[in-house]
Amino acid sequence: MADANSTAKHFPCHIVNGYQNPNQKEEHSAGLGIEINDDLKVIRLGDGQCRARGVTVGMVMMGINGKSIAECAKAAIGEDAAKNLNADKVGKMMQSVPKPYTLDFNALPNETVAKKELDDTFMSLLQQGIEVTKVHKDGNMFNRMARRIVHMNDAANKIMVSKFKGANTDKVIDVTEVTNVGFSKKQPTKVVIQTKDESKDVTIKLPSEKATEMFAQKLYRHCSQSQEDEGIENVINKGGMLSPRTHRKTVISSP
């Protein structure tokens, strides 16, 4: 297996769910559209995500989300199985890695860069669209929830919830209107995107607690940063994300 080359330039490749390319005939390692040798060097490319993100033949797979392949393999397949890593073992390991993630080529990023790349990967996924279950505010016992797509526009300044990406919808939230993105321990798979106008709040359900936490934290961070960049003060809760009920109590009790 290749050793990390500290002089090589790090190349991040953002991998998301649901990638589609009509020209993709071969998926190779873990559906990424690449074939690697036992030194983890790319020896062949298909029309998959890696080629689309700029990966080229000769690049070396070094890590995932800023952690080395060896470290990731130990966590995924066990310390003994991770010894003497080769293309087959890494390919099998990659099949179990939940998307989205950043695949690190040529060198590993430092901790700060790795964190930013994870945020970038999430934003790439959100702009592509995430399938969720929307909880209707006025739904009855037969119509309480429905499958929807949550996505952002290319400028990443509007959050939309629609039946499919591109469909007309009145559920459009400007990131400058977001005051909180919260979830509670009592309902750990539901995220509430809260705004200055409570009637515009949107509640969505995700498949797992981990997915809920990641979605809420990263969307909160994006909205907070966007508001700072716009010079907007006292919109999103600057003390950090709160559970939805706690947030509303805080807003109501504020002078």
pLDDT > 90? residue 189: yes
> 16 with 119, same domain?
yes
pLDDT of the residue at 30: 54
Write the CATH number for 231: 2.30.29.30
4 in any annotated domain? no
39, 119: one domain: yes
pLDDT in tens, 27-55: 445 568 899 999 999 999 988 889 888 99
* Residue 109 preceded by cis peptide, ω within 30: no
Last residue of a domain, one of 90, 105, 125: 125
Say how many CA atoms lie within 13 Å of 117 toward its Cβ: 23
64 domain-assigned: yes
pLDDT in tens, 192-226: 999 999 999 999 999 888 889 889 998 998 999 89
Domain membership flag for residue 210: yes
216 in a domain, yes or no?
yes
Rounded Cα distance, 33 and 30, in Å: 8
**Do 232 and 168 belong together in one domain?**
yes
> 48: domain CATH number?
2.30.42.10
Residue with token string 């989300």: 65
The dihedrals phi and psi of 4, each to the nearest 5 degrees, come to -65, 135
pLDDT at 28: 47
pLDDT at 169: 92
pLDDT at 176: 93
| pLDDT value of position 191 | 95
Beta carbons of 85 and 71 less than 8 angstroms apart = no
Which stretches of the chain are assigned E, i.e. beta strand? Answer: 11-15, 34-36, 42-45, 61-64, 67-68, 101-105, 130-135, 145-152, 158-162, 172-174, 178-182, 190-195, 202-205
Q: What is the pLDDT of residues 62-121, one digit of tens each?
A: 999 899 999 998 888 888 878 889 999 998 888 888 777 889 999 999 888 888 887 888
Distance CA 248, CA 54 (A): 45
Q: How many domains does the chain have?
A: 2
Contact 225, 234 (CB under 8 A): no
Compute the mean pLDDT over every residue in the chain, rounded to the nearest whole number: 85
Task: Return the percentage of the chain with pLDDT > 90, whole number.
Answer: 40
Query: How confident is the model at residue 91, as a pLDDT?
Result: 87
* 68 and 90 share one domain: yes
Half-sphere exposure of 214 (CA within 13 A, CB side): 19
Q: Decide if 227 is inside a domain.
A: yes
Q: How many C-beta atoms lie closer than 10 Å to residue 62's C-beta?
A: 25
Domain for residue 112, yes or no?
yes
Side by side, the strands of the sheet bearing 178-182 are 172-174, 158-162, 145-152, 130-135, 202-205, 190-195, 178-182
The reported pLDDT for the residue numbered 82 is 81
Q: Is residue 100 part of a domain?
A: yes
Amino acid in the structure at residue 57? V
Residues 117 and 135 in one domain: no
- Same-domain status, 21 and 82: yes
Cβ atoms of residues 143 and 135 within 8 Å: no
By residue range, what is the domain housing residue 54? Answer: 11-125
Residues 32 and 103 in one domain: yes
Q: Would you say how long the chain is, in residues?
A: 255
